Structure formats: structure tokens, C-alpha cells
Amino acid sequence: MDKIKLSKMEFEGHTGCLDFEKKDGQKFIVSLELFMDRIKGCYTDDLSDTVDYSKIYEITKEVVTEDKGDLIECLAQKISDAVLKADSRIAKVIVSVSKPDAPVKGIFETMEVTIVRRRKEFVILSLGSNLGDREANINAAEEALKALPGIEGFKQASIYETEPVGLEDQPYFLNTCVGFYTDIEPFELLDKIHVIENELLRTREVHWGPRTIDIDIIFYGDEVIMKPELTIPHPRWYLRSFVTVPLRELKDVGQDHPDDKEVSLYRKRG
């Protein structure tokens, strides 16, 4: 990726927890790193083929000068939201907000927070359970996913009862798909999914065997990842009707369901 950096922009703002900070204001220093796919302007020498720095500057200035919140962490988030909204070609932004006159007793150069945010992508996960209270397992997993910071627009497909794949001598599964928008990085999302599975006491004794909960990333926007620990899109999603049937409630995948196993509606959402 190419990077454009706007360094150490100074603005007067009123973000702070104390009354005098909101009343009198103080200096804030903001730096931005904007990441884009190969910048077309490198070849065309045309302003319309790159980010308009002056526009980004003015947007950042407006956010800082108008903010009345308490935390520079929240201010940094507001800046990242505004910058990503301003130009769809910006895939990721790193925002640093510095408060050199922070009301802290001691010797320091500045107090600074840095956040990394990417453009939100629509992610689809597959959930399955065939041990214990299957529906409760799925509901608990969904609630845990909804509670993750950076998740919005959460959608749930219907729950289906499905014939097991691979090891057939085991209880039928309940399966569903969920979709949401997020800026959580794919590998970070995978780590969070593993935490949720562990918290729900995931049990899986054998490959393809019974489990309390199983959560797989099927799609992450249009990204393609091929690593030993994570493959996106999921390499077998289109071969499994327990994925494709609920999936089509969330995304038009433009193909028929495979006739691999029996799938029946368990209950209708809402």
C-alpha cells in the first residue's frame, strides 16, 4: 500500500475532562497516516487521482475545534471516522492525537494516543452447535459477537437443523450465519472468535466431530487471505448446504445450494 502522511497539525480544541479545558481550550497536535492502494496520481500527476490534503486538513480541523468530549481517545476515533468517510480510496488510517499541555503534574513532552482504523467491511460468519443446549450456545455466541467493539449493523439468518458432515454418527447440528460491518482486522477477529469459543467452553474431541460451538469466518468483504491459520473466503463454504442455506439470507452468492446434507428450518428469526 502507498501512504500519505500529514504530520503535526496544530489546532485549538476543547476536549478534556476538566471544566477549564472545555472553557479555555488548549493546543492539540494531530498526525495522520493515510493508506491507499497504489496511488493513481503517481502516474497521472492529476490532483483528482490522489487524496486532497487540504480537504483532509480542514476536516480534521473541524473535528478537533468542535469537539466537546472528555477523551482524546474518542477524539481520535471521530477523526478517523471523518477521514475514512471523506475519501473512499483511503483503506486505512493511523491517527495520533497529542496533548502537550495536558493537566498532569510532572515532567513530560506530551500525552498522546494513537489508533489504527481500517474501512469497515461486511463480514459473514458461520455458527454451529450440536452439544448441550444447541440454541443457547448459538444465541450466546451471537451476543458475544454483538458486544465486540467495532461491530455494527449486526444481522442474523434463521437457524437451521442440519445433518452432520464427515463423522455421521453424532447429533444433528443447529447452524446459522451472521453478518456485520467491522474494521477489526481479519486475524484480530479470528483471535476474538477463539476467545468467544473458549468462553463458551468449546468442546471438539475429533475432527468433524461434535462440538458445543464452532464459528468460522466465511467472507471478509472482498478480501482473499491464504494462510495456514486463516483462509478467506472459507475454502469449503460453497460445498456445505449448512452454510449456503442461511448464508443466502444475508448475501446473494449467485448459485444453487449443494445437495450434500439434509437442512431444515429450525426456527424463524423475529
Q: Which residues are catalytic?
A: 99
Helix/strand/coil for 165:
coil
CA pair distance 20, 18, nearest whole angstrom: 6
* Angle (CA) 166 170 172, round 5°: 90
Q: Dihedral (C-alpha) 227, 230, 232, 233: value to the nearest 10 degrees?
A: 120
Q: Which residues contact 101 (CB under 8 A, 6 or more apart)?
A: 26, 27
- C-alpha to C-alpha distance for 60 and 32, rounded to whole angstroms: 9
Element (H, E) at 57: helix 53-66
Nearest to 217 by CA among 151, 87, 122, 143: 122
Contact 119, 81 (CB under 8 A): no
User: Distance (Å, rounded) from C-alpha 94 to C-alpha 80?
Assistant: 8
C-alpha cell at position 232:
478467506
